């Protein structure tokens, strides 16, 4: 067994060796309860021994971070690989000449003797149908991915065996029954500890500051942690999103930090740069933002940063309004017809601007005549004005393993609100937008730290929006750290205007890329639908924009691999 780790831009070796054992955790590992000490350089002999004895369970319970751990038992030649639940460190897998090869980036292995990759068209179809549930499949037939929280064991002369070492549905099935105030305290302490650990891991962090609740709280927590310098960065754009600029300035002033501002002029954007994107194992819509990532990389170079942080994940952890739609049903699953049932129904009514009696009637109907859970209903495109790209036979014949994450089956036993939270957690794995798209620095998402995810999964949904207030728990836990105006904010910042302007400016290039490309020549795609998506009328009104950008991303990805065929 040979493990190769590239040093970070600062020269640090991002790995924790297993003291006294044949193994290492590649990435960042922090001990629970000692987060302020930062990442460990080595896993203690006792923990390494317990990790081996429990096939990794001890490491998941006693430590956390962003890592892929791999160790080998010299007596049995059994090798175990464990990917941490955050999913921040990729773990791609292939085999060549009898050698099992694990790697984080496809570019690292292109050109190795004995390796040849071919396109997995089933994955491309799944990507174009919907890119929400990332599965083990990639766009390369010879490459699969070890999923976050999954364990793989190799034994001599036997195929690898896979199992879930970490299952969010099992955690969500054990609700935390503490009071709202106690949960607020725990959320504050846990998130502070996680932020402290990340602050201790790097000398200088550039934080993408949108001016929203999540990034503003994160800025305050990182700034309060000692041992690191934090540079807030806001990319200024036109349209309604300009409102974000004002709030980002407010958040930076509140912490006493100088906000770095960079303009992102969609009128000058050149989307041809997506053809120079790094080679990835699967297509990703995020390559559309590769210019923004290069802008961030430039700021990192200016200030000497060795990591980039973002506030992704708060919507999932603290239940953005759209995820809080089943409060009374969830309450009944946990408490039956408890004393707070009427209050919970009132919270739901306030949140959705409905009558409390209407909410109670709807809840009673759901209890008496429970509906079958349809977690994939949103995959069906019901907009008659948006063309469907896949031919019906391709949609119906697409293997479910390409677009349904296994956790979805496990989640069926949960209360409906917790099901939605698990679905949203699966979706988060699509949004490590800084990882592998042009940045050479570490990308960190402190909200997606394992202790925070586990705590949020245990908290009943009705506690997050107590009083019918969106994200009430998060606001109560951190409201004193951020400007009151941001603490009261309920809207979400979007990039719609910026994206629409960039697409309109590059319409000719995008149309040519797709309509002269390889994908529209496949017999499973409706070329007329693709042509309709890229018509001037469709692009200008933004109809089917995500479908159009999916085609763009897939074709650009395909052309990148064609060059290396």
The tokens describing 50, both together, are 């317990």
Looking at the chain, the number of H-run helices and the number of E-run strands are 24, 15
Where do the domains of the chain lie, and which CATH numbers do they carry? 15-168 (3.60.20.10), 171-317+430-487 (3.40.50.620), 326-427 (no CATH), 496-562 (no CATH)
Section 499-521 average pLDDT: 89
HEC-encoded secondary structure of 20-86 = CCEEEEEEEEEECCCHHHCCCCEECHHHHHHHHHCCCHHHHHHEEEEEEEEEEECCCCEEEEEECCC
pLDDT for the residue numbered 226:
74
pLDDT for the residue numbered 435:
44
pLDDT for the residue numbered 10:
65
Terminal CA-CA length for the chain: 29
Q: Are 79 and 154 in contact (CB under 8 A)?
A: yes
Q: What is the pLDDT of residues 106-147, one digit of tens each?
A: 888 988 888 889 999 999 999 998 777 789 999 999 999 999
Name the residue among 261, 281, 307, 249 with its Cα closest to residue 105: 281
- Which residues contact residue 330 at a Cβ distance below 8 angstroms, ignoring those fewer than 6 apart? 415, 416, 417, 418, 460, 461, 462
pLDDT for the residue numbered 251:
95
Instruction: Order across the sheet with 144-145: list the strands.
Output: 99-103, 92-96, 144-145
Residue 382's Cβ-count burial label (10 Å; 0-12, 13-18, 19+) is: exposed
- Residues facing residue 235 across a β-bridge: 262
Q: What is the pLDDT of residues 394-451, one digit of tens each?
A: 878 889 899 889 999 899 899 999 999 999 999 888 766 554 445 667 888 999 999 9
The tokens describing 518, both together, are 């390889």
Alpha-carbon gap, residue 5 to 26, rounded angstroms:
7
SS3 (DSSP) at 94? strand
Alpha-carbon gap, residue 63 to 84, rounded angstroms:
10
pLDDT for the residue numbered 385:
65
Residue 503 banded pLDDT, cuts 50, 70, 90? confident
* 216 pLDDT more than 80: yes
Angle between helix axes 356-368 and 327-335 (nearest 10 degrees) is 60
6-13 long-range contacts (CB < 8 A, ≥24 apart) are 8/306, 8/441, 8/442, 9/306, 9/440, 9/441, 10/202, 10/203, 10/306, 12/306
Write down the residue that tokens 């629409």 correspond to. Answer: 500
Residue 228 banded pLDDT, cuts 50, 70, 90? confident
Section 254-259 average pLDDT: 94
Q: Are 369 and 383 in contact (CB under 8 A)?
A: no
């Amino acid at each position: 067994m040979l493990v190769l780790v590239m040093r970070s831009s600062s020269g640090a070796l991002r790995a924790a060796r297993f003291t006294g054992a044949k193994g290492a955790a590649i990435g960042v590992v922090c001990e629970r309860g000692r987060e302020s000490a930062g990442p460990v350089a080595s896993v203690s002999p006792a923990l390494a021994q317990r990790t081996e004895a429990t096939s990794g369970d001890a490491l998941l319970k006693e430590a956390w971070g962003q890592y892929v751990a791999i160790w080998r038992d010299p007596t049995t030649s059994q090798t175990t690989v464990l990917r941490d639940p955050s999913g921040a460190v990729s773990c791609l897998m292939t085999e060549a000449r009898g050698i099992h090869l694990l790697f984080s980036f496809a570019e690292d292995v292109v050109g190795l003797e004995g390796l040849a990759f071919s396109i997995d068209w089933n994955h491309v179809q799944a990507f174009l149908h919907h890119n929400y549930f990332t599965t083990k499949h990639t766009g390369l037939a010879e490459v699969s991915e070890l999923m976050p929280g999954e364990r793989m064991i190799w034994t001599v002369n036997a195929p690898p065996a896979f199992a879930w070492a970490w299952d969010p549905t099992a955690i969500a099935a054990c609700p935390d029954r503490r009071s709202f105030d106690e949960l607020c305290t725990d959320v504050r302490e846990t998130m502070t500890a996680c932020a402290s650990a990340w602050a201790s891991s790097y000398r200088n962090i550039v934080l993408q500051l949108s001016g929203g609740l999540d990034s503003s709280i994160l800025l305050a927590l990182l700034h309060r942690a000692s041992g690191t310098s934090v540079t807030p960065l806001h990319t200024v754009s036109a349209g309604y999103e300009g409102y974000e600029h004002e709030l980002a300035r407010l958040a930076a002033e509140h912490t006493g930090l100088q906000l770095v501002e960079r303009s992102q002029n969609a009128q000058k954007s050149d989307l041809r740069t997506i053809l120079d994107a790094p080679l990835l194992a699967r297509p990703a819509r995020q390559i559309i933002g590769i210019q923004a990532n290069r802008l961030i990389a430039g700021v990192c170079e200016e200030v000497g940063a060795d990591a980039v942080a973002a506030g992704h994940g708060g919507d999932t952890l603290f239940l953005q309004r759209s995820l809080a739609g089943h409060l009374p049903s969830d309450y009944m699953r946990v408490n039956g017809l408890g004393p707070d049932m009427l209050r919970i129904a009132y919270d739901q009514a306030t949140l959705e601007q409905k009558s409390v009696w209407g909410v109670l009637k709807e809840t009673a109907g759901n209890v008496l005549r429970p509906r079958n859970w349809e977690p994939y209903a949103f995959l069906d495109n019901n907009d008659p004005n948006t063309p469907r790209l896949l031919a019906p036979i391709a949609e119906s014949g697409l293997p479910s393993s390409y677009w349904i994450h296994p956790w979805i089956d496990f989640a069926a036993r949960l209360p409906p609100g917790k099901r939605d939270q698990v679905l949203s957690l699966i979706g988060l794995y699509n949004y490590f937008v800084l990882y592998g798209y042009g940045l050479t620095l570490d990308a960190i998402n402190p909200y997606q730290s394992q202790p925070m995810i586990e705590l949020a999964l245990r908290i009943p949904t009705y506690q997050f929006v107590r009083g019918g207030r969106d994200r009430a728990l998060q606001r109560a836990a951190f409201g004193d750290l951020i400007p009151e105006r941001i603490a009261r904010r309920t809207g979400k910042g979007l990039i719609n205007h910026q994206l629409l302007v960039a697409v309109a400016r590059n319409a000719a290039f995008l149309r040519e890329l797709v309509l002269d490309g390889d994908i529209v020549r496949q017999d499973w795609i409706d070329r007329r639908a693709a042509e309709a998506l890229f018509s001037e009328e469709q692009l200008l009104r933004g109809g089917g924009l995500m479908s159009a950008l999916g085609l763009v991303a897939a074709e650009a990805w395909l052309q990148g691999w064609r060059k290396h065929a």
